[in-house]
């Protein structure tokens, strides 16, 4: 699973341009699939018969897209003006490398010795940033990076420290890697695996996929914010690395089904899987759209804690990823046991 994740994180896939990730997942999954569906938005929905048939329609969901940038204009001296695709803190991108296809660039800002004292006290606005692609003038920049070209962080995927992984797009390629692993080894019950699009810009793909499949039960697999740093106190840390898979009871888009939450908690404890929950209501996932579909969907979530989320250097713990994989497996087995 970790090797799959490393390959997935290396691929470009900003919201609305998930093609490279879609194609990789399809290639990995098609030998195991009993049915494959795609929609006009770009969702990839793969069904695999499980070791047991149950009457419920079961759906696992993770999103393929990542945050990125998009070309909006140019400076006269050949730099690219841009907007963010998804939620990105401008502070994390200054001096970082950006990749527009095969064109590399670096995010720049006015030199510090040219700024006023007041400017140095405030967060830079996106409008004050630019991407230097090495073009000699505006005309050359327009040729290299046309308007509307998507860009992603140019960041290597690296294992480091005591079982940590640094990469862009851990949110939510980790969910995709877990689903691919379960799909390839055969799930415990018949399952739809939904690799969704455009989560980072409004949970859009999940709405279409859930409406098409009309599941009875859905488990959303995600990456979630961790702020477990020395200067952050108590609940503000949200969750922490190496403390296990996160089982959320609520976030800004969803109140997760209480029975589903309790089931996941009990399964984790019965099988000695490390788990935690969020200590602060923060963020949102595709569950926010899925659980509202048609007459409602029993929905729960699992997440891997991620430091520096939505940045070029997100960090997560390998052991937390394994915990999410293990608990997702046991949940599918539980659904089968419940009907037998």
Q: Which residues are catalytic?
A: 199
Phi, psi of 106 (to 5 degrees): -130, 135
If phi > 0 it is left, if psi is from -120 to 50 it is alpha, else beta; for residue 101 that is: left
> Cα–Cα distance between 84 and 153 in angstroms, integer?
11
> Cα–Cα distance between 242 and 137 in angstroms, integer?
48
Of 281, 255, 254, 260, nearest in space to 328 by CA: 260
Token pair 């400076």: residue: 75
Phi, psi of 198 (to 5 degrees): 55, 35
> Cα–Cα distance between 174 and 7 in angstroms, integer?
11
CA 131 remoteness from chain centre? 24
Q: How many CB atoms lie within 10 A of CB 299?
A: 27
- Contact call for residues 60 and 48 (beta carbons, < 8 A): no
Of 255, 227, 244, nearest in space to 315 by CA: 227
Phi, psi of 102 (to 5 degrees): -105, 10
If phi > 0 it is left, if psi is from -120 to 50 it is alpha, else beta; for residue 242 that is: left
For residue 229, with 0-12 CB atoms within 10 Å meaning exposed, 13-18 middle and 19 or more buried, which class applies?
exposed
Q: How many CB atoms lie within 10 A of CB 1?
A: 19
């Amino acid at each position: 699973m970790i090797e799959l994740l490393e390959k997935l994180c290396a691929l470009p896939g900003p919201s609305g341009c998930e093609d490279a990730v879609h194609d990789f997942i399809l290639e990995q999954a098609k030998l195991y699939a009993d049915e494959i569906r795609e929609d006009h938005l770009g969702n990839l929905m793969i069904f695999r018969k499980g070791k047991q048939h149950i009457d419920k329609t079961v759906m696992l969901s993770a999103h393929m897209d990542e945050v990125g940038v998009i070309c909006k204009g140019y400076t006269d001296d050949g730099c690219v003006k841009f907007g963010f695709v998804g939620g990105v803190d401008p502070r994390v991108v200054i001096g970082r490398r950006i990749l527009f296809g095969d064109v590399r660039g670096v995010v720049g800002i006015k030199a510090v010795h040219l700024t006023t004292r007041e400017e140095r006290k405030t967060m830079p606005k996106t409008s004050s940033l630019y991407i230097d692609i090495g073009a000699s003038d505006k005309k050359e920049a327009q040729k290299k990076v046309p308007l509307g070209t998507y860009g992603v962080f140019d960041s290597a995927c690296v294992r480091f420290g005591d079982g940590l992984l640094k990469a862009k797009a851990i949110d939510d390629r980790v969910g995709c890697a877990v689903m691919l692993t379960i799909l390839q080894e055969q799930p415990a019950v018949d399952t739809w695996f939904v690799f969704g699009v455009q989560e980072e810009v409004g949970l859009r793909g999940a709405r279409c996929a859930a409406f098409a499949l009309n599941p009875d039960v859905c488990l959303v697999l995600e990456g979630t914010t961790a702020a477990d740093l020395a200067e952050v106190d108590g609940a503000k840390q949200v969750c922490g690395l190496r403390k296990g898979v996160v089982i959320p009871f609520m976030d800004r888009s969803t109140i997760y089904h209480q029975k589903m939450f309790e089931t996941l908690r009990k399964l984790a404890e019965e099988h000695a899987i490390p788990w935690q929950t969020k200590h602060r209501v923060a963020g949102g996932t595709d569950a926010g759209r899925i659980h509202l579909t048609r007459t409602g969907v029993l929905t729960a979530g699992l997440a891997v804690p991620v430091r520096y989320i939505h940045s070029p250097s997100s960090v997560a713990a390998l052991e937390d990823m394994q915990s999410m994989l293990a608990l997702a497996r046991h949940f599918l087995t539980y659904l089968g046991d419940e009907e037998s």
